[in-house]
Amino acid sequence: MKFLIEIAFGLVIFSNGIFANEDPDFGKAEFEANCASCHGLTGKGDGPLSRVYLIRPTDLTMLAKSNSGVFPAQRVYKIIDGRQEVKAHGPRTMPVWGREYGEKVPDIIPDLMDFGYIGYRKKVVKARIVMLVDYLFRIQE
């Protein structure tokens, strides 16, 4: 029941609240929340945490340029969901995002399974990754 209340609350916020007078950019919001600390707000690899790493974070605005002008969407998706390893992101068993974008669903309260929570969560994770990949595509130079 709590899960249904949270969904209803979320719908109210998005329909009447924060984004009432503007079109939300969910991909940009995902990027700012989960990537900008290393890759910077502009995606150039100059985030506040970039100074503490031995390997400078990738300039994400140059992905297409470094791939013969073609944005490597499938490869980017696999890096985000953890299927393709990136040394700077750490081992795939524990990527820097923890369970944020992983396909494995954490143990949950059993009654949520009755509402299809696991299937719902996987769909939400996939949608968040697609929005993030779309945003990265849009910031290419």
* Of 83, 34, 82, residue with least CA distance to 60: 34
Domain count across the chain: 1
- What pLDDT, in 10s, does the model give residues 79-110? 888 777 777 666 655 455 555 676 554 555 45
Residue 84: CB atoms within 10 A of its CB come to 14
**Which structural domain, as residue segments, surrounds residue 98?**
63-138
Q: Give the pLDDT confidence score for residue 85 in this predicted structure.
A: 75
Specify if 134 maps to a domain.
Answer: yes
Q: Where are the alpha helices (DSSP H) in the chain?
A: 2-16, 26-34, 36-39, 73-81, 110-113, 117-138
Specify if 1 maps to a domain.
Answer: no
Specify if 25 maps to a domain.
Answer: no
- pTM more than 0.85: no
Specify if 21 maps to a domain.
Answer: no
